[in-house]
Chain A
Amino acid sequence: MKLKIGVLTLLSLLTIGMVVMAAQPIQLTFWGGWTGPDGDVMRGLVDEYNSTHPDVHITFTTMQWTPLFTKFMTSAAVGNPPDILGMHGPDIPQFAALNLLTPLGNVISNAGFTATQFATTAWNGTFYNGIQYAFPLDLHMNAIYYNKALFEKAGITPPTGWISGQQFLDMAIKLTLDKNGKNPNDPGFDPNDIVQYGFGLYSLNWHAFLQWYELLAQQGYGFLNQQNTKVDYPSDAGLKAWQWLQDLVFKYHVSPVGATNPLNDFLIGKTAMLEDGPWEIPACQAQKGLEWGTFPVPQVFGQKAVWGSGHVLTIPVQNDKAKMQAAEDFVIWLIKNSSKWALSGNIPAFNTAREYAYSLPGRTGFLEGAPYEVMLSRIPNEAEVFSAASVSPIVVAGQDIMVRDQSILPVMKWMNNQIDQILSRGQ
């Protein structure tokens, strides 16, 4: 009798336990490097999914991209990666080459997605060695932010589309003022006492290289060879691109030397224009009294091109099939509902979602630039070749040319050699 009661109790407890377990939502982890207002937008989307899908609960974690990837590598090494991981298209090869990402081609096609439904650059940015490893989420590229009040004061009508390098330079000169109100072309202009600069650009961090990279692309060249094994571009084209940037600072005096915070200089009206990405849109919107807009980067050379990248959503390799399925369902939902992601400043990659971005203020420059976006080469040791660290050859070269006014050719040659050495070492 006692035995029977015991067995019955045990069975009852097991049944209750299984029912309770079955009623528990699947717990997923989602990591991304959106640490600014973009993180709030993503959190809003995750919350919406959690509230409409009671069988799944997603915990969203943000931290800066570099520590995030370190955390991902260590967690993957011990078999405990996140269920969903955000990254940039060019980041894919370094993780795919280590077999840390799940190939998603079948999942994406089974969900009914095709290449024609996405911005081409974003779609292409999800492949490595012919295998698709990610869902394309968005595009983000450089554009020119401008201060409407300063333009009006200088009597300049802001462009709405692409303009030439010369037109851009003319505007920048008009918008640069010394303490006596003189422009760089005026006699008696004092370059040592400028109170307002026409154009703010990043010369201390890796964005100097990115601006150069897009100018190289405007001449029809990439940075590396087809096999991505060596630096390969005509030095004449490289020289012209750096020369344009260097002259803005040292010849025309329309950009400050070594600005430590170009965004803040723009926000407080010390510079009239700024080349930067759409992630600064929330900061511009938050700045009281600032009337701003955007237009595409100038076309300095033969063809239109702008540096850009794109966020993608990956599913790291793991053994729990139920979790993988739930993660895929979430990402498919997120892509289909990514119109709200435009509020973060990024331009959604999914065509129907991108339409919403057209209705938002300040997106002109990015939307006009999107079809001409060029991404960095896709290589497994991207973290070292295209590093933003101060020790990175591309950063040092940018600083030598743009801040120290050094002779371009020797610096470029040094940068090329350094990058070749890194490429030859492999991942």
Chain B
Amino acid sequence: MKKNLRILIIPYLFLIPYLFAFIAFRFGPSIAGFFVSLTRWNIVGTPKFIGFSNYIELFNDPSFITSLINTLYFMALTVPALIVLGLLIALLVDQNLKGRTVTRTFVFMPYVIMSTVVGVIWMWIFDTHFGILNYYLSFLGIKPIAWLSSVNWAMPAVAITTIWWTVGFNMILFLAGLQDIPEELKEAARIDGASNWQIFWNVIFPLLRPTTVVVLMLTLINSFEVFDQVYVMTGGGPSMATLTVIQYMYFQAFQYFRLGYGSAVAYVVFAFLIILVLVERQLLKKVGES
């Protein structure tokens, strides 16, 4: 009995260091953040309880609504492209072709660059008047595009940067998934006379579905939390065209010292992410059933 108890307790003792850090730096602040979101507080002094006023103000705040719409727009621009391109590149570099290792390295390489560096590099590339992209486009007779200073182009420009920067990560995940698919299954399909497309659609894609769901969820969450590249490249402008939710939270909490309001934004973001996770669970369940 004593031995059993020890066996039962020991694993939890090993967990204590992590649990301590988790409670002190994650769980605790998250709970405290909710109470802060019910107050008016500027870091210094005593928080003043104001109930759900911050949440009511938030949903009547045009800038917050703009930031939410912008974030969804950014997700619409990046998520499908990152999934499709990631998969296509993974399929390409999974083939037994010459130079596939070099290609894998080149595609993945941007992902290891710091986000700020990526932002600065692309700011130069996108410069309206003296940038290299507009220079090349001029050979096609295209007039200079105000990539980062136009309301219409700023978000697509940030999306292009993000795709270039992170597609390598998705490629690696897909590649790992592809390499888990037994070669015999593809071989058997080929012997049965299946075309490449049929092999992909009926053999590879169904077996790749768990990987696809994971990649999709990671990409959705990362896109929803976009901050760095926007902060560096456009700062959220012009005219709030690239202002995202996380950036709005940062401004409110750490520039305007409206901790309560900023925490309310954080909790709305949290609610959105919970919805995404629930959707993910449903998808995974379906995948399991199939």
Contact = CB atoms under 8 A, between A and B. Distances in A.
Contact of A391 (B63, B127, B149, B254): B63
A260 B235 contact: no
B257 A404 contact: no
Interface in A52-95: 66-67, 70, 73-74, 76-77
A389 interface: yes
Label chain A's interface by main secondary structure. loop
Given A260-B126, A404-B151, A390 B236 contact: yes
Interface in B219-264: 234-240, 242-243, 247-248, 251, 254-257
B130 A270 contact: yes
Contacts of B281: none
B44 A73 contact: yes
Interface stretch (A19-27, A161-169, A393-401): A393-401
A260 B127 contact: yes
Interface residues of B, number: 36
A324 interface: no
Nearest to A395: B237
Given A383-B256, A384-B256, A260 B44 contact: no
Contacts of A390: 234-237, 240, 242-243, 247, 251
Contacts of A384: 255-256
Contacts of A399: 237-239
A403 B238 contact: yes
Interface string B103-126: 000000000000000000001101
Contacts of B150: 258, 403
Contacts of B248: 391
Interface residues of A, number: 38
B38 interface: no
Contacts of B235: 204-205, 389-390
A261 interface: yes
B44 A98 contact: yes
B129 A265 contact: yes
Contact of A259 (B63, B128, B236): B128
B144 interface: yes
Given A204-B237, A270-B129, A258 B146 contact: yes
B240 A256 contact: no
B129 A259 contact: yes
A391 B151 contact: no
B247 to A, nearest CB: 8
A192 interface: yes
A389 B251 contact: yes
Interface in B182-241: 234-240
B42 interface: yes
Contacts of B175: none
Interface string A194-214: 100100000111000000000
A100 interface: yes
A77 B44 CA distance: 5
A259 B45 CA distance: 42
A70, A100, A390: residue with the most chain B Cβ atoms closer than 10 Å: A390
A260 B134 CA distance: 14
B111 to A, nearest CB: 24
Interface string A371-415: 000000000010110010111000110011001100000000000
Given A258-B149, A265-B129, A204 B238 contact: yes
A427 B48 CA distance: 13
A253 to B, nearest CB: 12
A387 to B, nearest CB: 6
Contacts of B240: 390-391, 396
A404 B129 contact: no
Contacts of B100: none
Nearest to B248: A391
A418 to B, nearest CB: 9
Contact of A73 (B63, B129, B243, B257): B257
Contacts of B238: 204, 258, 399, 403-404
B255 A387 contact: yes
Contacts of A265: 129-130
A215 interface: no
Given A258-B149, A260-B149, A383 B128 contact: no
B268 interface: no
B130 A67 contact: no
A137 interface: no
B144 A192 contact: yes
Given A73-B44, A260-B123, A399-B237, A194 B129 contact: yes
Interface string A239-275: 0000000000000000011111100010010100000
A100 B43 CA distance: 12
Contacts of A396: 237, 239-240
Contact of B43 (A74, A194, A259): A74
Interface of B: 42-45, 63, 67, 123-124, 126-130, 143-144, 146, 148-151, 234-240, 242-243, 247-248, 251, 254-257
18 contacts: A70-B255, A73-B44, A77-B44, A192-B143, A192-B144, A256-B128, A257-B128, A257-B149, A261-B123, A261-B124, A268-B130, A390-B234, A390-B242, A395-B237, A399-B239, A403-B149, A404-B238, A404-B239
Interface of A: 66-67, 70, 73-74, 76-77, 98, 100, 192, 194, 197, 203-205, 256-261, 265, 268, 270, 381, 383-384, 387, 389-391, 395-396, 399-400, 403-404, 427
Q: Which 3 A-B pairs have the closest CB atoms?
A: A258-B149, A390-B236, A399-B238
